[in-house]
Amino acid sequence: MTAAKHDVFQAIADPTRREVIRLLSKKELPISEISAHFPISRTAVAKHLRVLSEANLVKGQKVGREKIYRLQPEPLGEVKQWLSYYEQFWNNKLSILKHVVEKEDDNEESIKMIKTDKQ
Amino acid sequence: MTAAKHDVFQAIADPTRREVIRLLSKKELPISEISAHFPISRTAVAKHLRVLSEANLVKGQKVGREKIYRLQPEPLGEVKQWLSYYEQFWNNKLSILKHVVEKEDDNEESIKMIKTDKQ
DNA sequence: TAGACACGAAACCAAAAGGTGTTATATAAT
DNA sequence: ATTATATAACACCTTTTGGTTTCGTGTCTA
């Protein structure tokens, strides 16, 4: 089920939908709270949520009279996989590492773990 | 001025355009050769190329009567950066590191470079 | 039991997307 | 010089997108 009409690439193409994703990454929210963050109508937001839902990026659950949406980030893996092929062409893998390393407290540990894993 | 009308997220949303990107990643090509790979008209392909061009994912250069397009993968970095924020929510960061590390020969060095950089 | 609230569904609309085909122009080849 | 080629530039068509309003239904709460 969960229709295949929209794929993840299309789903993330819209800035509003990316912002919805960002909001939901912080915490699950009902539609009305989500739409409070946008200048557009609740109905319009609901439509974006349907697109996200069709791409399985989001899942809504009815709770009382509300419908709570939460992020399901797994489909982003497809994008990542697609991207990974092109990394060889602009070769800034260092910046990826840098990003991760600079943002983490336990990065030394992570790196060690992998290195150990390799032996 | 390489118009800002289309961003990279929109550009990669279309399967045809992703396929064009794939083709150009192998080797630069004139429009007619690109469109030979698709069931649609050359004009339609040219439009896709214009979208890609506006997103700076592709650059065309006139050579004689042909216009040769080549891939410019740098803007994909924006997608990658966007994605990197969400990696924490699914595939734990280790898989990123793992991917990079396993694919590189000089990874030890890379990692050292960064670590050194931090001190 | 009445409202008020949260949502879904439907009808509608304008603009953009993704196509088409035709015509014009510069370059290459004969 | 003529003709064929590669593409640009239009004009046009149809479907999708992103938005709106309105109305109906279920669910809390005073």
Whether residue A92 lies inside any domain: the answer is yes
Whether residue B79 lies inside any domain: the answer is no
- The boundaries of the domain holding residue A94 are 76-118
Look at residue B99 and tell me whether its pLDDT is greater than 60: no
Cβ contact (<8 Å) for B83 and A76? yes
Residues A22 and A64 in one domain: yes
Q: How confident is the model at residue B93 (pLDDT cuts 50, 70, 90)?
A: very low
Q: Which residues in chain A have Cβ-Cβ distances shorter than 8 Å to B10?
A: 13
Q: Averaged over A101-106, what is the pLDDT? A: 44
Look at residue B98 and tell me whether its pLDDT is greater than 90: no
Whether residue B55 lies inside any domain: the answer is yes
What six digits make up the tokens of B57?
Answer: 């994912």
Cβ contact (<8 Å) for A92 and B82? no
Residues A96 and A81 in one domain: yes
Whether residue B3 lies inside any domain: the answer is no
Whether residue A1 lies inside any domain: the answer is no
Whether residue B77 lies inside any domain: the answer is no
Start-to-end C-alpha separation, chain A = 43
Residues B102 and B58 in one domain: no
Number of domains in chain B: 2
Interface of B with A in 12-71 (CB under 8 A): 12-15, 18, 21, 25, 71
**Optimal mutation site among B72, B76, B110, interface A, most CBs of chain A within 10 A:** B76
Residues B12 and B66 in one domain: yes
Look at residue A32 and tell me whether its pLDDT is greater than 50: yes
The better pLDDT of the pair A100, B2 is held by A100
- For residue range B19-50, list pLDDT tens digits in order: 999 999 999 999 999 999 999 999 999 999 99
Residues A62 and A95 in one domain: no
Cα separation of B73 and A83, whole Å?
10
Q: What is the DSSP annotation of B11-75?
A: HTTSHHHHHHHHHHHH--EEHHHHHTTSSS-HHHHHHHHHHHHHTTSEEEEEETTEEEEEE--TT
Q: How confident is the model at residue A13 (pLDDT cuts 50, 70, 90)?
A: very high
Residues B13 and B61 in one domain: yes
Cβ contact (<8 Å) for B77 and A90? yes
Residues A42 and A56 in one domain: yes
Residues A57 and A90 in one domain: no
Look at residue A117 and tell me whether its pLDDT is greater than 60: no
Note the pLDDT of residue B87: 87
What six digits make up the tokens of A73?
Answer: 């980030």
- For residue range B36-86, list pLDDT tens digits in order: 999 999 999 999 999 999 999 999 999 999 999 999 999 999 999 999 999
- For residue range A53-88, list pLDDT tens digits in order: 999 999 999 999 999 999 999 999 999 999 999 988
Residues B26 and B61 in one domain: yes
Looking at residue B32, which CATH number applies to its domain? 1.10.10.10
